[in-house]
Amino acid sequence: MAQTEKQSTTLLAIDPKLQMAPQIYGSIRQSILDLRLTPKQALSEKELALMLGVSRTPVREALIKLAEDGLVDIFPQRGTFVAPIRVAEVLEAQFIREALEVSVVARVAEISDPTIIARLQESLARQKRAVDNGDLDGFLAEDENFHFILSASVNLTRAWKVIQNVKGQLDRVRVLSLPEPGHLAELYEQHLAIVTSIESGNSAAAKKHMTKHLQQVFRTIDKLLAQRPEIFFD
């Protein structure tokens, strides 16, 4: 009873013309990822439905999907809770993402299609602008887009979906890490190295740079484990 929802603003605007369930899913997911909904917090169907002004059915469907993402834990007849940040699951998410994205970038490098490279370079340009302007959100959005371009360019849309799903676990950790000066520029350089490898058709180099790029999260995890170990469970 004590931990009812404090929530100041509504989770998100809902467009009644579109389907409810996907919107609710996205809304709750975003709230979990930026920690507006905190680990272990109770999320009852009824309460969320009331808050969002919809019925319990689409809320329930959204929660089921979030459970598949590992972002909520559903205990039948007991309750649904925001999943705690479990080190093992974060590491496994990283493992899956790395395996897939490294394979993807290898394929992109093997093809080394000029039109694909052009689109990647356009993304790089936008990233550079965001870095120069210190536009964190803009960079993160373009970072996401950069990785999407890689998968989509070789028609691996399902792989991208899997990456997106597991990435939730990683994003929740990332928002906990304080933004460091020069970090964005570093990420940009890594993206640049990846594209350069793709241009030269050097898939081995592309894989290496992608691996290094993705393994940045380990630094974040280590730092958080040292500075704020109470964040993690299990």
Partner DNA sequence: TCAAATACACTACCATGGTAACATGTCAAT
Partner DNA sequence: ATTGACATGTTACCATGGTAGTGTATTTGA
What DSSP string runs through 138-187? HHHHHHHHHHHHHHHHTT-HHHHHHHHHHHHHHHHHHTTSPPPTTHHHHH
9 Cβ contact list (under 8 Å, min separation 6): none
**Which option in DNA, a copy of itself, none does residue 124 bind, with CB closer than 5 to 8 A by kind?**
none
Determine the interface stretch with DNA among 72-80, 125-133, 146-154, 179-187 (rule: CB under 7 A): 72-80
Among 35, 67, 100, 141, binds a copy of itself (CB under 8 A): 100
**Which option in a copy of itself, DNA, none does residue 221 bind, with CB closer than 5 to 8 A by kind?**
none
Question: Which residue's CB is nearer to a copy of itself, number 56 or number 223?
Answer: 56
Tokens in use for 25? 């899913």
Question: Which residue's CB is nearer to DNA, number 83 or number 108?
Answer: 83
What size, in residues, is the chain?
A: 234
Among 7, 46, 53, 88, binds a copy of itself (CB under 8 A): 88
Among 20, 52, 63, 93, binds a copy of itself (CB under 8 A): 93
Tokens in use for 142? 């373009």
Closest CA to 146 of 192, 111, 82, 201: 192
Query: Per rule CB under 7 A, is residue 54 in the interface with DNA?
Result: yes
Taking the complex as a whole, how short is the minimal distance between the CB of residue 189 and a copy of itself, in angstroms? 26
Return the amino acid letter for 123: S
